[in-house]
Every structure is written in structure tokens, then in C-alpha cells.
A and B are shown apart, each in its own frame.
Chain A
Amino acid sequence: MCTGINRSRESMGKPMSFDSELIKGMRFFDPHIHMVSRTTDDYQAMYDAGIIGIIEPAFWTGQPRTGIDTFKDYYSSLIGWERFRSSQFGIRHFCTMGLNSREANNEPLAEAVMELLPKFIHKEGVLGIGEIGFDDQTELEEKYYRLQLELAKEADLPVQVHTPHRDKTQGTSRSMDIAIEHGLDPKMVIIDHNTEETVKEVLERGFWAAFTIYPFTKMGNERMVEIVKEYGPERIMVNSAADWGISDPLAVPKTAALMLQHGIDKKDIEKVTFHNAIEAFSITGDLSISLFEEDPEIDQNEKFAGNSILRGGQMPKVDKESIIIK
């Protein structure tokens, strides 16, 4: 999320350059990124850094929505235009659908969204219900969190749970308690935005633990390195949650590079930056490791501007170093 915090350069320490050579040849999957807020430059940089798949959870778009049609158009864009945009850069785009916690507080609108959601959750590439959960931890947030857990259960879909910024530790425990109360298998629930304070309980209770590398307000990746050192790679995944705030769409590959520099085993890094997320979201069958082994030309959906080919590397590339624009 966006932040008004202004850090002085001095307090940020000495910048360390991103040596992309370190991660050359590695593949990454970012299971939480809001590309609707990002540019084509980001897509190109992500592809260049090895990101070949992403999940875009439905979220709050910054300006509160006042009518149901804007939700409908937003959900449609997640399975339409945004997916096409991503395919132009050789990145497979998936999404999760849900009513975010902030907007759950507008009850009449939330009711209308709940009627709309079933029309979208069975579409291709919709891998689960998300991101849902608590923000201010109000009664209405709880009501719509519970209703969406039921929706996920009925549709046999995993759930991507946003945990609150404020009163996080207690809010995270409560999110898990409610999921269990509704009979969800912890293996079907991805608890997101974890910290050092929440990870132990999340893992012990059998849930997936996702970590968001997001400057200033969520995790830093040096802390992430320590978490993987302490807890190992099982059921842990890293994401960027990059959006319209000061965030970094390369957070996953950068974190992998930092982990390599700190001596974490490459196989473990691959788990937390690629395999685990794919496994957690593979329930619908739309996402699997084998998908990334396929020749992308086979997939007729992934067409860009006219040619039935998807080879991100062959997309016309703008030379950013040159002042000449052809």
C-alpha cells in the first residue's frame, strides 16, 4: 500500500546493486502483484529478471468504488485486458477474485459484489478467492470474510488471505481461527503479508505462509533471508504485492539473489520463489509446473498484437539506454 513515510537517504543505508547475473537462468513466480497499477516497463523488467508467471489478486484500487459496475469492469479486466497485456511480455497471468476488506465496509455495495462474484470464480485462470480478510477488523469485514470462505469451500477453491497492517498478530490468528471454524483445510489457505511475529503460528497450524517484500511498510528482503534460514523453505512463498504505492515488481528475483548471496541452498530458493506458490494455487488445474515446460506457442490464448506466437524475448524491445526512439 501507499505510504506517506519519508525516509532520509542516510537512514536507508548503502544501496547494494542488483546483480542479475546471479539469478540468470532461474525462473520466478510472483503470487501476489497488482499489475493493473504497473506499466509495460515493469512487465519487460520482470520478464528480463526471470518472472514467467504471476497472480493478480483482486484488490482495493486506491479510490473507493461507489458502484457495482466498477467492480464488474475491474473483475472483467483481470480475466481480459490485463491477462492479454501480460501475455505480450511472455508472462502467464492468473488472478484471484474477491471482495477486499476495506470495501467490505460498504454494506450495500458488498452485498451486490457477493452476487457478482459467482459469475467470475469459474473463469479460466481464476485460481482462488482473494485477497480477502481483515483491515480494520470490523464486524462487516468479518461478515464478508466468512461469506467468501463459504464461497471458496463450495467452489473448492483456495483462499488468499490479506492480514491487517494494524494489530497484525492478533488479526492473523483470528483469520486462521475463522477459516478453521468454516471447515477449510489449512492447505487451501494462503496467509499473506506475514512477519517474524506471525510466521511460527501460521506454519505450525499447517497454513501456507506468504511474505510480501515491500519497502517501508511490509517485509524487507534481508529479514526474509533470516526467516528462510530459521524456518526452511516448506510452505513459504515470497511475493512483491507491487501496486500503485512505492513498491518493487522485482522483489521476488531480488530476494532470490540476496538469498544466494547469503548462502541459502538454490533448491530452497526455488521453492520459496517458484514451486511452493504454484503448488498452493494448483487446485483448479489451470496452474501447474508442467505448464511452464510447454511450448508457449501451443496456447492459442496467448497471442499478442496479431501473431499466434508468444515469445517474450522476441517482443519488440525499447532500448532504454538510447535517446533515439525508433
Chain B
Amino acid sequence: MSGCTEDLKKIIQSYITEEEYSSLLRLKNKQNEKGIVGFDLRFAKIRRALKRSTQTLIVNEKETCENKLIIENWDILRLTRVWFISLLSSYQKEEYCQALDELFEFADVKELVALYSSLSLIPFPEYALKRCEEGIRGNIGAVHEAIMENNRFPVNHLDQTVWNQMVLKAFFTDKNVLNIQGLFDAMNASLARAAKDYILERNAANRSIHPVLWVLAQNELNNERILSVFQRELKNSDDEFKKYCLSYTLHHNAFLKENIKQDYPNITGIQPTLNEIKNFYR
């Protein structure tokens, strides 16, 4: 973990002024004097150490902290808070969890975003898991995004039921689902059934169907009803990404292949891989 702390420090240092860095160090050094006691108040004062114009600088670092973090469009304030959280990792479980409880209980929205972004850095996964599940159950969009998007903790730690709920919630709340780490690696029968039901529900409501739902539901598409919805989508597929998803689904589902007689060369000709779908917008 110390390597991670060091990585984060270096990134932060390259964005902030010396004066701001000294203020942060003063806060950090109180840790040496006072230990974990009062960490919540020091955590709350981080933003005072950075000018507003610095706080909003945007950082992109794809692989850092032994690949535990994906830093995409984070502001410096978020990154600095994550750095401070990483400083706690040497404490014993009881002290550590107590300190984190304090942070979670009194956090504002942006602090919550930093806390949930740090899930993979928490040395006690069972504690992080409880917090992660709580965050998913909540209602705040920015918190959901911090957990669901560009965060490896859910795919590495959630059990299948919670994972499936999270994925569905990501669709329901219009998240960028391609940013869900491990989305296509953790596909399962139960999620496929739920995705198929969701497709039918959207269809009944005359609402648009997210193309990725077809990919997730690929092994459950096996009756006339879903076939007619799929065919209608094929006819109305002017969007490139949608074509990719429909093409993939068609090529991986025997029932659809057998029953769709009309040829759609501009779709069947694509034959994308899951990786190409995942990276379509990158």
C-alpha cells in the first residue's frame, strides 16, 4: 500500500502549488503526532488546503496503485482525499474501521465520492463490502457513479446477487454501463433473465432499449415474443453502437440465427468481439 500512497502523492504534487502541498503536509503530519484520533476533522479540512481553482483540475491516470485504481476524470480534490484515506492503511482493523465509519457518517457528497472511489484500497475487504452494498442501495447519483464506473471493487468482491442488482441499477439510472469494470466477464444466467425481462418491460412501455441489454441477455433470447422485439430493433438500428451489440447477440444466439430469415448485411457483417463493444467509445 505504501507504493500506492507514494504514487498518489507524486501525481498530486505535479498538479498543486508548493504552498498547497505544504498545507497538505501539515495536515498529514498531524497523523504522526495524534495518530488516527481526529482524522475525520483533518479529512474535512483537506479542501481548505487547496484553492478552488486547483480543486477542480482534472486528472486521468489509467493504471495506478498496483492497478487498484482507475483514475478517469477525477478532480484533484477527490484524488487528494483518496490519498489521505490510503494513509490509514497501516492501522489495526478496529481503529481503522472506526475511523472510516466516522468519515462515512459525516461525509458530504464529494467526500462520499472519494470514500467509495477508495473501496479497493481498504485493507479489510469485508468492511469495504458492507460499505459498497450500502452505497449501491442509496440514491445519490454521484455515489453510484463512483462505485459502478471505473471501479474494480464490485467485480472483485460482490456476490452475484448484489452484483446483478448493481448492474441493473446502472441501467435504470442511466450510467455509462461500459465503464462497469468486468461487466462482460461476470455475465450470468440470472442477470441474463433479468436483462431479458427488462427488455420486454421497456418494449411494453414504448421506451428505448439499451443495446448492451441484448448482449447481457444473449443466452435467454429463446421465444417468439423476444424474437419480434429483436427483429424490430434490427429494423431500427441506425446507431453504430447498437449495430455492434445486435450483431454480437445475433452471432451468439442459435435461436435468433435460426429464426431470422431476412438478411441484415450491415449488421451481420460486423461481427464484433466483446472487447470491441466495451471499447467502442474509447
Contacts and interface: CB of A to CB of B under 8 A. Distances in A.
Contact of B40 (A80, A81, A119, A306): A119
Contacts of A265: none
A299 B112 contact: no
B141 A306 contact: yes
B44 A122 contact: yes
B121 to A, nearest CB: 20
A55 B263 CA distance: 60
B75 to A, nearest CB: 5
B105 interface: yes
Contacts of A301: 109-110, 113, 142
Range of interface residues on A (Cβ < 8 Å): 20 to 34
B174 A307 contact: yes
B200 to A, nearest CB: 19
A307 B45 CA distance: 28
Interface in B211-250: none
B47 interface: yes
B10 to A, nearest CB: 22
Interface string B122-145: 000000000000000001111011
Contacts of B105: 72, 76
B15 to A, nearest CB: 15
A300 B73 contact: yes
A84 B142 CA distance: 8
Interface string B68-106: 000001110010000000000000000000000000011
A76 to B, nearest CB: 7
Contacts of B170: 306
Q: Is the interface of B mostly helix, strand, loop or mixed?
A: helix
Contacts of A299: 56
A81 B139 CA distance: 8
B41 A118 contact: yes
B193 interface: no
A79 B145 contact: no
A303 B145 contact: yes
B66 interface: no
Interface in A274-312: 285, 298-301, 303-308
B29 interface: no
A119 B140 contact: no
Contacts of B173: 305-306
B175 A306 contact: yes
A84 B140 CA distance: 7
A119 B41 contact: yes
Contacts of A125: 108
Contact of B174 (A81, A298, A305): A305
A80 B112 contact: yes
Given A124-B108, A306-B175, A298 B56 contact: yes
Given A298-B56, A299-B56, A300-B75, A124 B106 contact: no
B282 interface: no
B110 A124 contact: yes
B141 A303 contact: yes
A120 interface: yes
A124 B47 CA distance: 8
A83 interface: yes
A320 interface: no
A311 to B, nearest CB: 14
A48 B170 CA distance: 29
B140 A80 contact: yes
B251 interface: no
Contact of A306 (B48, B106, B174): B174
A220 to B, nearest CB: 36
A122 B48 contact: yes
Interface string A79-116: 11101100000000000000000000000000000000
Contacts of B175: 306
Given A122-B41, A122-B45, A308 B108 contact: no
A123 interface: yes
Interface of B: 40-41, 44-45, 47-48, 52, 56, 73-75, 78, 105-113, 139-142, 144-145, 170, 173-176
The 10 A-B pairs at the shortest CB distance, nearest first, are namely: A306-B174, A79-B108, A123-B108, A122-B44, A306-B175, A306-B173, A303-B142, A119-B106, A84-B140, A303-B141
Interface of A: 72, 76, 79-81, 83-84, 118-120, 122-125, 285, 298-301, 303-308
14 contacts: A76-B106, A76-B107, A83-B108, A84-B109, A119-B44, A122-B48, A298-B56, A300-B56, A301-B109, A301-B113, A305-B174, A306-B144, A306-B175, A306-B176
Given A80-B107, A80-B140, A83-B109, 11 more contacts: A72-B106, A84-B142, A124-B111, A285-B52, A300-B56, A300-B110, A300-B142, A303-B141, A304-B141, A305-B141, A305-B174
